Structure 1
Amino acid sequence: MRTLKHRVTVRVTALLATLVAVALLGTSNAVAAHRTGHKPTIVLVHGAFADGASWNPVIERLQRRGFSTVAVANPLRGVRSDADALDARLAGIDGPVVLVGHSYGGAVITNVTARSEKVKALVYVAAFAPAQGEAAAQLAGKYPGSTLGETLAPVPLPDGSNDLYIKPSLFRQQFAADVPARQTALMAATQRPIRDAALGEASGTPAWASIPSWFLLAGADKNIPLRAQKFMADRAGSRATVTVKGASHAVAVSRPDTVAKLIARAAG
């Protein structure tokens, strides 16, 4: 009787152990599945004459969709050094990433290298997407329509190069014609300059040659003519190209819903 009771106890204990093991395995698999199902982090790279806050309206909309977002501080010193700074920032982000570049920020995301294995998609928002050997200034002048040069105010630097600002009195008409005047006055006052050498620096091997890309084109852009934007989108094999009619270069500020929608689409 005692032996039978002992056998039953052993069998029950073994059964419970098996059930616990199965439960733990199921939990582990569920956690793994949950992790692999995480949405990618959206990393936003601003361009010249702007800062990370220029993405705020887009960030609000992406966060409402459940995306983690990071607006990096782009140094605006040179394509390669700025891309290296972006690579370093990507090193601290776990999981897949969607890179979004505005204006000169597009040249920077084009040159990601060290962390490019994390990058699952590229989104260009009124942005440069240079091929190897091309410079932003070269692409801006490829087609007529850019009036940026005549609005710039250079500030000499000790190394002989210049920091470039847009003259505050011309900022709205050049950069953000479809943004309220009060807001553009703040944008003009807080604009970050770009070193002129950065606009003339040749790009390296383009990330868009191996990473899927999406493009949003600003229809009334006075910095990068629409024809130049379309040329770059077509050349990169854009998965989807959205043209926003009447949008200024500051399309992420004036049309954040459209920008956020395309980013979410690229993120899958």
Structure 2
Amino acid sequence: MTTVVLVHGAFADASSFAKLIPELLGSGIKVIAPAVPNRSLVGDSAYIASIVRGIDGPVLLVGHSYGGAVITVAGAEENVKGLVYLSGYALDEGESLGELQGGFPDSDLAQALVYTKFPIPGAEDGTDVSVDIEKFPAVFAHDIDPSLARVLAVSQRPLTALAFGEPAPVAAWKTTPSWGVVSTSDHTINPDVERFGYQRAGAKVTEIDSSHLVMLSHPQQVAEIIREALASI
């Protein structure tokens, strides 16, 4: 049986899949939703790759947002048979998040970011990037329950600034079939960034009128795309 590994993005954790997971489990699909460290693209990808290697059998990687960049690299593992991008970054080999995003007009996220120093033993302080708590619902989650959006806003998992400039050492979509969901009302990632990456990857694309958190606002539609991918690999 193929295992679906759900890879969350920046400013979130695996609870962002809370409505999608029951849809998949209800279909008898095996699911794992690990916590991504959000410390560096290379390090995060290596961590997810280690989880993938520990799975007996084929894997379908599903990445949301920054998680799309992570699965682009971790997807090079031999037992990964498909990639599903949700409002995600499909990087090319040698390309960074900043480079891909820099080719398009900024989203509302650019004016909502907060930078916070954190200590690294034996080295210079690092910088965590998060979303302004007050701006989070409008930028990230305008079409989900406001009370849930407020909880997500205060429970963010930051991403280090380092991760934005790291080039992807490999692009798994070059040898692995892929699917992509464009969130057409996304205020976090410019939807054209999503479209461009998916088109370049040769992904089968579905557009959904959704905020960035498409798996929370449209879990049934996302689950159907994942089931379609599973049936095709």
Fold-level similarity (TM above 0.5): yes
Runs of 4+ in 1 over 4 A off after TM superposition: none
Higher relative contact order (CA 8 A, sep 6+): 2
Letter in 2 for 1:170: K
The structural deviation recorded for 1:145 is: 4.4
More helix by share: 1
**Which residue number in structure 2 is paired with residue 7 of structure 1?**
none
**Which residue number in structure 2 is paired with residue 35 of structure 1?**
none
The structural deviation recorded for 1:202 is: 0.9
**Which residue number in structure 1 is paired with residue 222 of structure 2?**
259
2:90 to 125, 129, 137: 129
The structural deviation recorded for 1:165 is: 1.2
Q: Which has the larger radius of gyration?
A: 1
Please identify, of 144-153 and 74-83, the stretch whose mean Cα deviation from structure 2 is larger.
144-153
**Which residue number in structure 1 is paired with residue 46 of structure 2?**
84
**Which residue number in structure 2 is paired with residue 109 of structure 1?**
71
Question: Residue 204 of structure 1 aligns to a residue in which SS?
Answer: coil
**Which residue number in structure 2 is paired with residue 233 of structure 1?**
198
Whether 2:55 is the aligned partner of 1:93: answer yes
CA distance in 2, matches of 1:160, 1:135: 22
Question: Residue 217 of structure 1 aligns to a residue in which SS?
Answer: strand
1:202 to 145, 167, 170: 167
CA contact (8 A) 1:42 1:68 kept: yes
Letter in 2 for 1:58: L
Report sequence identity in percent.
Answer: 37
CA contact (8 A) 2:182 2:194 kept: yes
Q: CA RMSD in A?
A: 1.2
CA contact (8 A) 2:98 2:165 kept: yes
CA distance in 1, matches of 2:154, 2:125: 25
The structural deviation recorded for 1:91 is: 2.3
CA contact (8 A) 1:140 1:223 kept: no
Instruction: State the aligned residue count.
Output: 227
CA distance in 2, matches of 1:102, 1:250: 8
More strand by share: 2
The structural deviation recorded for 1:133 is: 1.6
Whether 2:131 is the aligned partner of 1:188: answer no
CA contact (8 A) 2:129 2:161 kept: yes
Question: Residue 168 of structure 1 aligns to a residue in which SS?
Answer: coil
The TM-score, its normalising length taken from structure 1, stands at: 0.82
The TM-score, its normalising length taken from structure 2, stands at: 0.94
Kindly report which structure 2 residues correspond to 1:48-63, keeping only aligned pairs within 5 A, or say none: 48-63=10-25
Question: Residue 82 of structure 2 aligns to a residue in which SS?
Answer: strand
**Structure 2, gaps ≥5 residues long:** none
**Which residue number in structure 2 is paired with residue 242 of structure 1?**
206
Cα deviations by residue, 1:40-83 (Å, 9 ceiling, x for unpaired): 11000000010011111111000111101000111111111111
Question: Residue 74 of structure 2 aligns to a residue in which SS?
Answer: coil
